[in-house]
Amino acid sequence: MNEVKTKTLSMTGISPVHKTLYYEDAMSPAACRIKRCLDIAGSVIGLVISSPLFLIIYLAIKYEDHGPAIFRQERIGYRGKIFTLYKFRSMKVAAEANGKPALCQKDDKRLTRTGRFLREHHLDELPQLWNVLKGEMSFVGPRPERSFYVKQIMSINPDYQLLYQLRPGLFSPATLYNGYTDTMEKMLRRLRMDLEYLAARSLWLDTKIIILTIFSILTGKKF
């Protein structure tokens, strides 16, 4: 049974009243096991096929500024546990030198030339295939967030913790339709979409999200 509650957004000015719903996972335990097997098979195949691209991207990043090619960052994942997310570095080495987390903005000056290309074509996400293989992520699920922002989101809408039932995803319906989140308003909108995914997810829905995302990337859609 769904329980509805009301919470006032006194901190944001996004809207005076925000309603949230409690959802249960729609995917059966058997389907979850099949999903995990498909994640393992898909990540292995993806890593093998994209290995030449890994080398090209690695060399391009190193050639531009000689900094590390792989970017590591702690994120909150399955069951609320912290894991290390891997990406190709798209920003300057000192992008967050002051130690304060900052969201990537449109035309962000912290992006390197190579990094901007990688971001536009979502190639910076390729190393997350390793996260999928390790079981820290899935091909489809909510995008993992940093603890700094999770605390801010949960102070407004604690339903975020319901997403801990899911492995974070390389692909997400919220990313596909909501784009990158660079404001708290977008983060809360993404949360609503992630909760809707939780309540409706299936192997067919996952397949549809993967196909639509790949098609959007290949056709040059910006999100």
Domain that residue 206 falls in: 27-218
In a domain, 165, yes or no: yes
What is the C-alpha separation between 22 and 2, in angstroms, rounded?
A: 6
In a domain, 188, yes or no: yes
Structural domains in the chain (count): 1
Pairing mode of beta strands 138-140, 169-171 = parallel
In a domain, 143, yes or no: yes
Dihedral sign, CA of 85, 170, 128, 134? positive
> pLDDT value at position 105?
66
Residue by residue, pLDDT tens for the chain (223 residues) are 333 333 333 333 333 334 445 567 889 999 999 999 999 999 999 999 999 999 999 999 999 998 999 999 999 999 999 999 999 999 888 766 566 666 666 667 888 999 999 988 899 999 999 999 999 999 999 999 999 999 999 999 999 999 999 999 999 999 888 877 878 888 999 999 999 999 999 999 999 999 999 998 888 777 6
> pLDDT value at position 169?
96
In a domain, 17, yes or no: no
> pLDDT value at position 223?
66
SS3 169: strand
CA distances from 13 to 24, 53, 86, 156, 180 (A): 29, 44, 34, 11, 21
Residue owning tokens 């979850």: 32
> pLDDT value at position 68?
93
